[in-house]
Amino acid sequence: MLHDEVLEPQFRFESRHLIGHYVAIEKVLAAEYERMDILTPGEAHAVAARLDGVGTATLTARPGANMSDIAFALERHVEQGLERPVARWHVDRSRNDLQSCAQLMFGRDRLAGFARSLLELGAAARDLAEATRELPMPGYTHFQAAQVITPGFYLAAVGEQVLHSTRRLLATYDGIDACPLGAGAMAGQELPWDRDRMARLLGFARPQPSALTSVASRRWSAETTAELGLLGAALSRFATDLLTWGSSEYGFIELPDELSGISSAMPQKKNYPVLERIRGRTAHLGAFHLDALLGQRNTPFCNLVEVSKEANTHLLDAFESAHGTVRLFTEVLRRLSFRPERMREACEREFLGGFSLANALTLTAGVPWRTAQVVAGRYVVLAAGAGLAPAPGDPALLEAAAAEKGVTVTGAAALLAEAFDVRRGLERMSSAGSAHPEAVRRLLEELDAEHVRLSAEWDRRAAAVRAGAVETDRVLGLAAPRKGRGELRDQPQTARSCSTGLPTERGENSVGTDDDARRKH
């Protein structure tokens, strides 16, 4: 029962998603054994060459042979393929830091991969913003039409949010980029392992300073899922606006048929369920963070199955849900079109220039600001009551509204024409970051520059991982790796997770492997 419910599913998960990281770690450890003269160069090379042949289908969970433990199975696979025993291999070792390191490498790689997807979303938002920064549309506050904006202005905010999240993910990456290897079971190790070198060979920026933290903490998973949850909250708000704009009452946007749905009963409807899917998926991201967080609270600070395995059960699901959400949103923005005539009509039927009229009454007629607001509001009430459109307006009504407050207004017609002109509603904005098309253009240029910078930063971190892999193989006398760390040649690049997540710990004895799988390989 334990094998069926816990051990084998976790073994299957690790063999699909973490085996490349285990192999990379074992190769680095072999290089360290050679450096410390624990293994001869020939022994280290033989071990590493055997490790290089491991793939996702090489190992099988077998309770009687390897206790259904990936580390034991990998060890036995190597031993049974060596021409002669290497007695000192695995001396002064623990699975605790090995598992912690493999899990962290998995999370680190997934985080970097997701950041790439997020940068694509930001680029899609900025491209659409540039194409629509001249199109007037109503902006809303408190669910009411408020001021004239453009889709480009709104989408620039989407792009800024995406880059903000990417920066935070970069900071998260740097914060967790500390190698646990060399911590041992919890108190360190007896041999003089070079933890700085091991960290470098595995692509880490540094070793984790505390041996206890190395094996006891999985704060990196809670920090990562927290960022995914925050991003999900922002994306849900953007999706809500798109859903609103796509409704029949607004009709501001349209998606192509291949991204749309129909009603089985009402043929006149064109639905956008993809937006509902996006918003619905964002809820999972917050739930995955809560799952990781609650799995760690009220536990002792030590190596513990509850924290190292169960608390991270849905980590892959969190990354895949985030990636799928972002992928859908990216495609929506790439295929989304706006309907300028509907947006302009909405602007023209709303009194969106009320704020500008109050400003003009103060700046040109000397009306105190609060009084000017009352006069402008009163005019809107009178004009709407009379069934008038905002433009051209009725100068007599403005003069009457001003007279009620003891104010005399001259040039009322010009004031109304300026205040309620839709195009002028954009052009009047002069502050940086405003809805003025040129201000949007300048913001998009800044976002483009930040995109380039962040892309370079992520490239630099990926290069450190690749460089570590190359150096490890050079030290061990192996051919240069063909792919990045953790990307074995028969390992699927995208795969759904099993239900149980990261590995379950067993005893410290009884190693073995699947002989049939070894012979097949």
CA-to-CA distance for 359 and 348, rounded, in angstroms?
20
The candidate with the shortest Cα–Cα distance to 330, out of 118, 150, 155, 115, is: 118
Higher pLDDT, 201 or 304: 201
The domain made up of 96-345+442-466 has a fold known as Fumarase C; Chain A, domain 2 (1.20.200)
Q: What is the DSSP letter of 478?
A: P
Domain 351-428 has CATH 3.30.70: no
Return the amino acid letter for 173.
Answer: Y
CA-to-CA distance for 177 and 109, rounded, in angstroms?
11
Sequence-ordered strand ranges (E) for 240-282: 253-254, 261-262, 270-271
Residues of the chain with pLDDT > 90, as a percent, come to 84
Q: Encode 397-421: b = buried (16+ Cβ within 10 Å), e = exposed.
A: bbbbbbeeeebebeebeebbbbbbb
Q: What's the first-to-final CA gap in the chain, in angstroms?
A: 29
pLDDT tens-digit readout, 34-56: 999 999 999 999 999 999 999 88
Hey, is 518 helix, strand or coil?
Answer: helix
If pLDDT is split at 50, 70 and 90, which confidence band does 481 have? low
User: Which ranges of 133-247 would DSSP assign to H, the alpha helix?
Assistant: 151-176, 195-201, 211-216, 219-245
- For residue 201, count CB atoms less than 10 angstroms from its CB and return exposed for 0-12, middle for 13-18, buried for 19 or more: buried
Hey, is 430 helix, strand or coil?
Answer: coil
CA-to-CA distance for 434 and 450, rounded, in angstroms?
19
If pLDDT is split at 50, 70 and 90, which confidence band does 479 have? confident
If pLDDT is split at 50, 70 and 90, which confidence band does 500 have? very low
**Domain-wise residue ranges, the chain:** 1-91, 96-345+442-466, 351-428
pLDDT over 60 at 501, yes or no = no
If pLDDT is split at 50, 70 and 90, which confidence band does 269 have? confident
| Residue 274 Rama label (left phi>0; alpha psi -120 to 50; beta) | alpha
Rounded to the nearest 5 degrees, what angle is found at the Cα of 390, between the Cα atoms of 387 and 391? 115
User: What is the model's pLDDT at position 482?
Assistant: 52
User: What is the model's pLDDT at position 28?
Assistant: 98
Q: Phi and psi for 509 in degrees, rounded to 5?
A: -125, -170
How high is the mean pLDDT of the chain?
91
If pLDDT is split at 50, 70 and 90, which confidence band does 212 have? very high
pTM for this prediction? 0.88
Q: Are 252 and 338 in contact (CB under 8 A)?
A: yes
Cα 467 → chain centroid: 25
| For residues 472-494, average pLDDT | 61
| For residues 467-492, average pLDDT | 70
- For residue 141, count CB atoms less than 10 angstroms from its CB and return exposed for 0-12, middle for 13-18, buried for 19 or more: exposed
User: What is the model's pLDDT at position 264?
Assistant: 84
User: Which ranges of 336-436 would DSSP assign to H, the alpha helix?
Assistant: 340-349, 354-365, 369-385, 395-404, 412-419, 422-427
Residues of the chain with pLDDT > 70, as a percent, come to 92
Give me 492's structure tokens: 């699927």
Higher pLDDT, 511 or 218: 218
- For residue 294, count CB atoms less than 10 angstroms from its CB and return exposed for 0-12, middle for 13-18, buried for 19 or more: exposed
pLDDT over 90 at 33, yes or no = yes
pLDDT tens-digit readout, 416-432: 999 999 999 999 999 99
At a CB cut-off of 8 Å and minimum separation 6, what does 46 contact? 82, 83, 86
At a CB cut-off of 8 Å and minimum separation 6, what does 504 contact? 6, 7, 10, 305, 309
User: What is the model's pLDDT at position 64?
Assistant: 84
User: What is the model's pLDDT at position 490?
Assistant: 39
| For residues 263-273, average pLDDT | 88
Hey, is 304 helix, strand or coil?
Answer: coil
Longest dimension (CA), the chain: 104
| Residue 193 Rama label (left phi>0; alpha psi -120 to 50; beta) | beta
pLDDT over 90 at 486, yes or no = no
